[in-house]
Amino acid sequence: MTLETTDQSFADDVLKSTLPVLIDFWAPWCGPCRLAGPIIDTVANKMEGKAKVFKLNIDDNPQTTSKYGVSLIPTVMVFRNGKMEKQLIGLQQEATYLSALQ
């Protein structure tokens, strides 16, 4: 299940997670983001219990967006133990997202 995170909850949701975290930086006006949405949801379902999957709306959460230098969307990042490990920019295939979490 894909969850939502915000500037206020990002530290607890992502940085303090004991599981790997995939976070999708997106915006509702972004066409490629809308295409990525169902793919991200499928990844979340396949990784349930093994990883957490969040979405962060960049328009509503400028602090986190700025902190991680997100300027192109969709941008997907994978965090482990509170540190950003991988960054994928642009629409990717499901296998790419799954592989990033392995």
CA distance 63 to 19: 23
CA distance 26 to 40: 11
Looking up residue 30, the CATH number of its domain turns out to be 3.40.30.10
Q: Beta-carbon neighbour count of residue 29 at 10 Å?
A: 9
How many domains is the chain partitioned into structurally?
1
Low-confidence ranges of the chain (pLDDT < 50): none
Residue listed under structure tokens 């940085």? 15
What pLDDT score does 90 carry? 95
What pLDDT score does 76 carry? 98
- Which domain, by its residues, includes 89? 3-101
What pLDDT score does 102 carry? 87
What pLDDT score does 4 carry? 96
Give catalytic residues, as residue numbers.
30, 33
Structure-token pair, residue 53: 């999957």
- The answer to whether 45 and 1 are in contact (CB under 8 A) is yes
What pLDDT score does 98 carry? 97
Structure-token pair, residue 68: 């991680």
What pLDDT score does 6 carry? 98
User: Phi/psi class of residue 74: alpha, beta or left (left: φ > 0; alpha: ψ in -120 to 50)?
Assistant: beta
